[in-house]
Amino acid sequence: MKIYKIAAAAILISFASLTWSFKEDLFQVSKNLDIFASLYKEININYVEETNPSSLMRTSIDAMLDNLDPYTEYVPESEVEDYKLKYVSTQYGGIGASTIFIEGKLFVNEVNEGYPADKQGIKPGDQLVKINGNEVRGKERVQVSQLLRGPKGSAVELLIIREGALLTKTLVRDEIKQPNVSYSGMTADNIAYIRLDKFLENSAQEVKDAATTLGKQEPKGMILDLRYNGGGILQEAVKIVNIFVDKDILIVTQKGRNPQKTISYKTLSQPLFPQIPLVVLIGGSSASASEIVAGALQDLDRAIIVGQRSYGKGLVQQTFNLPYNSLVKVTVAKYFTPSGRCIQALDYAHKDANGKTLKFADSLMRKFNTKAGRNVYDGNGIYPDVLVNTPKFNPITISLVNKYLFFDYANNFKKNNKVIAPAASFQLTDNDYTAFVNSLAGKDYSYVSRTERLLADLRTEAEKENKLTAVKTDLDDLKSKMLGAKKTELTTYKAEIKRVLETQIVSRYYYDKGKVTQGFQYDKELNAAKSLLNDSGKMLAILKGEGEYKTIGSPVKTIAAAVEDNNQ
């Protein structure tokens, strides 16, 4: 009895402490609001120059939120629709075309199959001059989006320039649906493949529909591709895991400073595919809800994770309504996978002397265990069971992309070639590539490499120390060799450049789905996944944690791998 009284007293003390703390927080909030409101009023009334109250308020809000994390943000009424499209809904009224600014001019980048822009013959490379009589030049991207979007059934008139000629096109806006599942299909060796690019509304239903359709063909296994998925709605992630995991299983727990934000999410229904062999593809762009899915399936030993370490966003946001139809999105909690690990990579609570957010050190990572006893670690994202390294793009390729030289050539290629091979087998010939290289004559695609910057810094330091004379010959020799190497880069990196160019070209004929299927020819992670699904013995060994598969993402190994990667 005495023990119960002590426990009850402890609970009462704890509750009283929380209540006092909550009241203290409310007092501080109220006090500071009064100070800020008075200051804001006095500045606007008494400052010597004319002030803009809205601008001052926005600056104050942004400065306050900048000290938190990049996911906590204020959304004014004018940006609410774009916010909902980015984070919630996949539908809007528009023409079905994406645009890019090149040297201040607005061009059509890609058109979506079957939508108004496609039906009315709008083509990539068309320059948009006016939208409903409004000049495009000088407008921000948000303003352009607002002009192109509108209610389904409303008309929009476009004045475009194509090959030097002015054309007027009148389009009727339609409801544009951006699917969460951008592609699904069967591979040649009877494996189901689903690419999920977003976790917005109905994403779980889209995955379920795709899996059900492909399941009718009795695949030997399934691949869920999350490599290009930056996340979205947490509850959708839980539903997707539920497709493959039994009912009433813990998938994720979010824990916040406010006790009301601490919630555990379990599966609610029986799975559709509880036994199908499953591989999940992840990469550096896989974040948030993607990591919940990958982390849960890894912790439950239900799927093998293939690819590279994920982004490492272990934070949960919630949107709150504010006066005058504005919003604020606030980070309210951290999330934890079934094993208890949080995979947040950046420590926003602690910054260095320059205000830079620091990463949690690999050496501080803690060990957790999957359902079968495999060792996994928290911090810095989800580490794959099977690591497949993919090289980064070389500077020459990045320069060609950034200066839109692939874009220009792809548009001309489409004009001169009415048909090409099917997307799945399309490749440029050597003659095609030579033609692309020749098209670069007289065009600026130069860039300053990291080595050249280091050489310039070394020269500067040598001058400061009066040692330039001693090393000038060596520095000049290195610079000359660097310039010589850069002259041959179009040949040295031909394979990489050709792949990017093929992606641009194939989209002109087969749209987004064509880009996906054409890329399968070079997809190392996909090939690794297919190899696993064709080797049931190896899959079982990985999931049981046999031998080298007992520990996933050992800090010692990942630190060594990072050092090796940085030295390449």
The Cβ of residue 522 has, within 10 Å, a number of other Cβ atoms equal to 16
Is 203 annotated in the active site? no
User: 69, 126, 299, 378: which is the annotated catalytic residue?
Assistant: 299
Question: Nearest Cα to 514, choosing from 436, 420, 411?
Answer: 420
Backbone angles phi, psi at 156, to 5 degrees: -135, 130
Q: Which helix (H) or strand (E) holds 469?
A: helix 468-487
2-46 and 53-66 are packed helices; what angle lies between their axes, rounded to 10 degrees?
A: 140
Please give the angle made by the CA atoms of 528, 534 and 537, to the nearest 5 degrees.
Answer: 100
Secondary structure (DSSP) of 166-178: EEEEEEE-EEEE-
Using CA atoms, how far residue 359 sits from 162, 344, 351, 383, in Å, is: 49, 9, 9, 16
Q: Is 288 a catalytic residue?
A: yes
Angle separating helix axes 395-402 and 494-519, nearest 10 degrees: 60
253 residue type, one letter? T
Buried-state track 388-416, b at ≥16 Cβ within 10 A, e below 16: beeeebbbbbebbbebbbbbbbbbebbee
Distance CA 91, CA 89 (A): 6
The alpha carbon dihedral of 351, 357, 360, 363 has a sign of negative
**End-to-end CA gap in the chain:** 68
Catalytic residue among 288, 310, 339, 554: 288
Helix (H) or strand (E) holding 541: helix 536-544
* Contact call for residues 265 and 253 (beta carbons, < 8 A): yes
Give me the catalytic one of 169, 208, 239, 313: 313
What would the two tokens of residue 221 be?
């296994």
Is 557 marked active-site?
no
The DSSP secondary structure of 477-540, one letter per residue, reads HHHHHHHHHHHTHHHHTHHHHHHHHHHHHHHHHHHHHHHHHHHGGG-HHHHHHHHHHT-HHHHH
Contact 219, 191 (CB under 8 A): yes
Please say whether the beta carbons of 358 and 351 come within 8 A: yes
Tokens 């996994």 belong to which residue? 376
* Residues with active-site annotation: 288, 299, 313
